[in-house]
Structure 1
Amino acid sequence: MSTEDAPALFDAPATGDGRPVPDRPLADRLRPHALEEVVGQGHLLAPDAPLGRMVEAGRLSSIILWGPPGCGKTTIARLLAARVGLDVEQVSATFSGVADLRRIFAAAGRRRRGGRGTLLFVDEVHRFNRAQQDCLLPYVEDGTVVLVGATTENPSFELNGALLSRCQVLVLHRLDGVGLAELLERAQRLTGRRLPLTESARASLIAMADGDGRHLLGMVEQLLEAPSSAPLDETGLAAVVATRVPSYDKSGEEHYNLVSALHKSMRGSDPDAALYWLARMLAGGEDPLYVARRLVRFASEDVGLADPGALQAALGAWTAYERLGSPEGELAIAQAVVHLATAPKSISIHRGFARARAAARRTGSLRPPAHVLNAPTELMKDLGYGAGYQYDPDTADGFSGADHMPEGYPPPDERERFYEPTGNGVERLVRERLDHWDRLRRRRRGDTGC
């Protein structure tokens, strides 16, 4: 489609004296006119998909569109309203309050009495507080408005249950390479110009967009304004367009998603993936000390005694970063990440401590056996404190075999074992040592007739 063939919507408007006003942003001029033109969301818009079925039935339910920036949430809302014949009221949850909503509900009520429906589009709906969300409920429930909320945040965390129960949550995808390439072609057809890029630079441009169609078209505008006659390579592209920081919210869902990805990559013994997610977190502005704290937790929780050096490695990375700062200290954190990812794994300590806690709660205030009690006074010695204690390092095997559990607790052969080492890493040697001590205990009980 050439510039001359473009629809009137794309034409630059004129001022009162006939002078053209500056062009609207390319993303606005390329906004689709029909649902069929929306790229990357076929899982929602295809004839057999949720929105496709609503359009076919001519009846739109209240929905929450959840997806990353630049994936088409606002465009889809407007096109849905046009397709099913609803008037549109649009508000931003950032700037609007309950008074604005009441005005809209009053207007929607008048339209309804006149046989017209209203679609209320709330951008950034997650920014409404609980009172504002509750204000929507009766009007959504009785059909005064069809609510279409757009959000980049997980609705499960940000919207109250009453509102979610009245809406269908639809997840939009970040645009993939095919969808972004289609937007590039549309931009070239609209402007009548080819982007001055080599093939590798074009691929790099698509990667830099990070799934955001709006950001991609913003970079296209920068390229079209650049004074360049020869095609730009990747280095030339980086000099023209601004590099975008990857999407990352240190207090939102993306934060927890990437933390989980790092943790599970280390747990899954995948050092490459662990380094990648670490790099993503740091590039997004995460505090490296937060990562260091997570590594210390991981060393105890997921590695344990399978590699006793793991905890020291994590603590060492924490200390190194505190002394060096960024960027030098980040290498110490990366070293600890690889150490933990490649270490043998064991949760025996985690399980054993949980069992011991349960037993402690269950047994209450059982008294320690007399032989483990100190006797600093003669009275305490007369009462039996410390009686029968054997100093293990001074025994023949360095092991006395004494029972250190509370009085009245089941004997060793009859009670639950809290710590059960695995055969992974160093813990295999710990298991062999415990088995050896069990054999000594049994032998000594036999020797004494117990």
Structure 2
Amino acid sequence: MADLFDSAPRPAADGPRPLADRLRPKRLSEVIGQGHVLSPEGPLGAMLAAKSLSSLILWGPPGVGKTTIARLLADETDLAFVQISAIFTGVPDLKKVFEQAKIRRQNGQGTLLFVDEIHRFNKAQQDGFLPHMEDGTILLVGATTENPSFELNAALLSRAQVIVLERLSLTDLEHLAQRAEKELGRGLPLTGEAREAMLEMADGDGRALLNLIEQAAAWKVERPLDRAQLSQRLMRRAAKYDKSGEEHYNLISALHKSIRGSDPDGALYWFARMLEGGEDPRFLARRLVRMAVEDIGLADPQAQGICIDSWQTYERLGSPEGELALANAVVYLALAPKSNGVYVAYKAARAAARETGSLMPPRHILNAPTKMMKEIGYGAGYAYDHEAEDGFSGQDYFPEGMKRPVFYAPPERGFERELKKRVEYFAKLRAKRQGER
């Protein structure tokens, strides 16, 4: 995918040029945003200062300057800039690119090969870059909107530094809008509120904002448009959301952590973001049940039931009415007391089970349905708890020779305060019974 100032074939010098092309930065210092990587203290700034540019993977959302930065890096380092797209480039095309880079190198000039959408190349194609990176034929700069750790080969990643670019902030977009107005020679025909709405419509994408500005600048209006009038003329840009990609996992993580952090407003926001992105409410219902089990547990035994009920309500009502039932569960979980006591105990018990292998239960708690089993001691000495004082025998139920572990340690939160009292009560009673033997 192209980015903020990607170079399509340039129009003739006397022909109309798109606003994005006219505003293309000519120096890295003119790039809006990305100061965290371009400043003298940032990774790219430090590389340029040391005159030691390495192969890079530029990872970030659309419209934040990936192509522009790559082009300007080539200018800063006197490298030939060659741009290809993984979408339209096959193996024969790559071979030609590498051959041309070798000839260029023999003539004393290096090549910065910019590969847009590099994650679109398969494993074999990605491996094809490695020898040419290692012998210095090319300096690779790949651009991707997808998480490189998921989409790129480990061998390629080990030879390139990943640079994370961020979506443009509202302040960055306002600077870009001011630069566009200066280039156009006039202000936008918008009220302050409508101008803010336009920046929000761009959703952090500088190229999208310039497209919106180009449309708005062409309108012939008698007075500045307000927010409502702007919304009638322009459609809001769809939020970036891939139901099977990284954005899906980022947002469900944000929802889960907001609930764990007892923030109902944050939880509702991320819940709504996922629904607006087209997420299947049934997926959210399943995850809410998991959160109830993992993060609330026995601190509020009702939480799991409320999640199941909200899921069933959604199945009966469908969208959009049933989504309100899920929203009720979101708020309930966020405000419920939190405990992972059972979750921690469960993991510890599983670890102990793996470590102790196939140890038999103690003989006194084994059933003895045959005479032989009785003769070898199965069931001998078993104390029937209902017949014991306080209905508690205090016997040991772990394998013989295994030191009694403690898995479950309920915290002082919610209903588990009561369970903690019970755990402590039975621990004291167990010690008493064992002392009586």
> Cα offset for 1:361?
2.6
- Report the Cα distance in structure 1 between the residues aligned to 2:170 and 2:49, rounded to whole angstroms: 29
Matching of residue 359 in structure 1 with residue 352 in structure 2: yes
- Report the Cα distance in structure 2 between the residues aligned to 1:12 and 1:360, rounded to whole angstroms: 71
- Report the Cα distance in structure 1 between the residues aligned to 2:238 and 2:306, rounded to whole angstroms: 30
Amino acid at match of 2:317: L
Structure 1's 427 and 255: CA in aligned 2 closer, same or farther, altered over 3 A?
same
Structure 1's 106 and 434: CA in aligned 2 closer, same or farther, altered over 3 A?
same
1:67 and 1:174 in contact (8 A); partners too:
yes
Aligned match of 1:292: 285
Secondary structure of 1:326's aligned partner: coil
Aligned match of 1:4: none
Structure 1 window deviating more from structure 2 (106-115 vs 40-49): it is 40-49
- Report the Cα distance in structure 2 between the residues aligned to 1:53 and 1:399, rounded to whole angstroms: 70
Structure 1's 444 and 45: CA in aligned 2 closer, same or farther, altered over 3 A?
closer
Instruction: Describe the superposition over 1:49-71 as per-residue Cα deviations: whole angstroms up to 9, x where unpaired.
Output: 43334445666432221111100
1:222 and 1:240 in contact (8 A); partners too:
no
1:71 and 1:173 in contact (8 A); partners too:
yes
Instruction: Describe the superposition over 1:270-328 as per-residue Cα deviations: whole angstroms up to 9, x where unpaired.
Output: 22111111112222222222222222222111111111111112222222222222222
- Report the Cα distance in structure 2 between the residues aligned to 1:271 and 1:44, rounded to whole angstroms: 35
Structure 1's 44 and 404: CA in aligned 2 closer, same or farther, altered over 3 A?
closer
Structure 1's 102 and 429: CA in aligned 2 closer, same or farther, altered over 3 A?
same
Aligned match of 1:67: 60
Structure 1's 360 and 166: CA in aligned 2 closer, same or farther, altered over 3 A?
closer
Write out aligned runs for 1:19-168 (5 A). 23-56=16-49, 60-168=53-161
> Cα offset for 1:24?
4.0
Matching of residue 441 in structure 1 with residue 434 in structure 2: no
1:345 paired residue among 318, 338, 343: 338
Structure 1's 376 and 322: CA in aligned 2 closer, same or farther, altered over 3 A?
farther
Structure 1's 114 and 343: CA in aligned 2 closer, same or farther, altered over 3 A?
same
Write out aligned runs for 1:177-256 (5 A). 177-256=170-249
Structure 1 window deviating more from structure 2 (353-362 vs 423-432): it is 353-362
Amino acid at match of 2:351: A
5+ residue gaps, structure 1:
1-8, 15-19
- Report the Cα distance in structure 2 between the residues aligned to 1:402 and 1:58, rounded to whole angstroms: 74
Amino acid at match of 1:428: R
- Report the Cα distance in structure 1 between the residues aligned to 2:101 and 2:267, rounded to whole angstroms: 52
- Report the Cα distance in structure 2 between the residues aligned to 1:340 and 1:64, rounded to whole angstroms: 40
5+ residue gaps, structure 2:
1-7
1:245 and 1:283 in contact (8 A); partners too:
no
Secondary structure of 1:397's aligned partner: helix
Aligned match of 2:5: none
Secondary structure of 2:190's aligned partner: coil
Sequence identity (%): 59
Structure 1's 417 and 47: CA in aligned 2 closer, same or farther, altered over 3 A?
closer
Structure 1's 372 and 91: CA in aligned 2 closer, same or farther, altered over 3 A?
same
Instruction: Describe the superposition over 1:62-85 as per-residue Cα deviations: whole angstroms up to 9, x where unpaired.
Output: 222111110011111122223333
1:428 paired residue among 417, 425, 433: 417
- Report the Cα distance in structure 2 between the residues aligned to 1:129 and 1:45, rounded to whole angstroms: 30
Amino acid at match of 1:430: L
- Report the Cα distance in structure 2 between the residues aligned to 1:232 and 1:224, rounded to whole angstroms: 12
Write out aligned runs for 1:280-319 (5 A). 280-319=273-312
> Cα offset for 1:268?
1.5
- Report the Cα distance in structure 2 between the residues aligned to 1:253 and 1:437, rounded to whole angstroms: 47
1:59 and 1:84 in contact (8 A); partners too:
no
Amino acid at match of 1:185: Q
- Report the Cα distance in structure 2 between the residues aligned to 1:381 and 1:331, rounded to whole angstroms: 60
> Cα offset for 1:372?
4.3
1:63 and 1:148 in contact (8 A); partners too:
yes
Matching of residue 328 in structure 1 with residue 293 in structure 2: no
Amino acid at match of 2:181: Q
Aligned match of 1:405: 398
Structure 1's 226 and 395: CA in aligned 2 closer, same or farther, altered over 3 A?
farther
Secondary structure of 2:81's aligned partner: strand
TM-score, length-scaled by structure 1: 0.87
Secondary structure of 2:111's aligned partner: strand
- Report the Cα distance in structure 1 between the residues aligned to 2:351 and 2:233, rounded to whole angstroms: 62
- Report the Cα distance in structure 1 between the residues aligned to 2:383 and 2:321, rounded to whole angstroms: 52
- Report the Cα distance in structure 1 between the residues aligned to 2:416 and 2:386, rounded to whole angstroms: 22
Structure 1 window deviating more from structure 2 (36-45 vs 87-96): it is 36-45
Structure 1's 37 and 373: CA in aligned 2 closer, same or farther, altered over 3 A?
same
- Report the Cα distance in structure 2 between the residues aligned to 1:153 and 1:257, rounded to whole angstroms: 12
- Equivalent pairs, count: 429
> Cα offset for 1:258?
1.6
2:393 and 2:433 in contact (8 A); partners too:
no
> Cα offset for 1:149?
1.0
> Cα offset for 1:386?
5.6
- Report the Cα distance in structure 2 between the residues aligned to 1:59 and 1:382, rounded to whole angstroms: 81
- Report the Cα distance in structure 2 between the residues aligned to 1:415 and 1:375, rounded to whole angstroms: 25
- Report the Cα distance in structure 2 between the residues aligned to 1:49 and 1:366, rounded to whole angstroms: 57
- Report the Cα distance in structure 1 between the residues aligned to 2:36 and 2:349, rounded to whole angstroms: 50
TM-score, length-scaled by structure 2: 0.89
Structure 1 window deviating more from structure 2 (375-384 vs 280-289): it is 375-384
- Report the Cα distance in structure 2 between the residues aligned to 1:212 and 1:236, rounded to whole angstroms: 22
Instruction: Describe the superposition over 1:118-148 as per-residue Cα deviations: whole angstroms up to 9, x where unpaired.
Output: 2211001111111111111111121212211
- Report the Cα distance in structure 2 between the residues aligned to 1:237 and 1:315, rounded to whole angstroms: 43
2:398 and 2:404 in contact (8 A); partners too:
no
